[in-house]
Structure formats: C-alpha cells, structure tokens
Amino acid sequence: MRIDKFLKVSRLVKRRTVAKEMADQGRVKVNDRVVKSSYDVKLGDVIEIGFGTKQLKARVLDLRETTKKAEASDLYELIN
C-alpha cells in the first residue's frame, strides 16, 4: 500500500491529497529515510510525520484497504 493511502486509511492525515503533498515536500520519513508518496509501506515500518513544529512517530501494525473510524488506530502504534 502506498504511504499516502496508508496515512489516509489510518486517519493519521485527514485527506490523501494532503498526505501526498506532505510526502512530496519531504515531511514524511520511513525508517529514517525521506520517502515519496509512492513508497510501498510494509508491516513494522516506522513512520515519522512532520506537522510544522509537531512530530508524530508511529509503527505500522496492519495494512488494510479500508477501515472504520473506530478501528483506524489498530493499524499503528504511536512511539516516542
């Protein structure tokens, strides 16, 4: 699954277009490497997202094409 789609499905970012723009601007890292929006996410990847001054770090636990809002947080775990 592409990183922009994963960010949208997991609800870490509200819209896929915003996730794509963030990745293309270099504000998304996977395993300490800057990635483009077409990067293929794998289980266990550590994703870092830069929201201005706020940094978010999450580990991928599951990959699904769609998910309900209540189950979205099951796709990742936040880490410090």
Q: What is the pLDDT of residues 24-61, one digit of tens each?
A: 999 999 999 999 999 999 999 999 999 989 999 999 99
Predicted confidence band at 11 (pLDDT cuts at 50, 70, 90)?
very high
What pLDDT is attached to residue 52? 87
CA 26/CA 43 separation, integer angstroms: 21
* Superfamily of chain region 3-78: RNA-binding S4 domain (3.10.290.10)
DSSP 8-57: HHTTSSS-HHHHHHHHHTT-EEETTEE--TT-B--TT-EEEEEETTEEEE
What pLDDT is attached to residue 58? 97
- Specify the DSSP class assigned to residue 75: G
What pLDDT is attached to residue 21? 95
What pLDDT is attached to residue 3? 96
Q: Tokens for 36, please give them.
A: 């483009």
Q: Whole-model pTM?
A: 0.91
- Specify the DSSP class assigned to residue 59: E
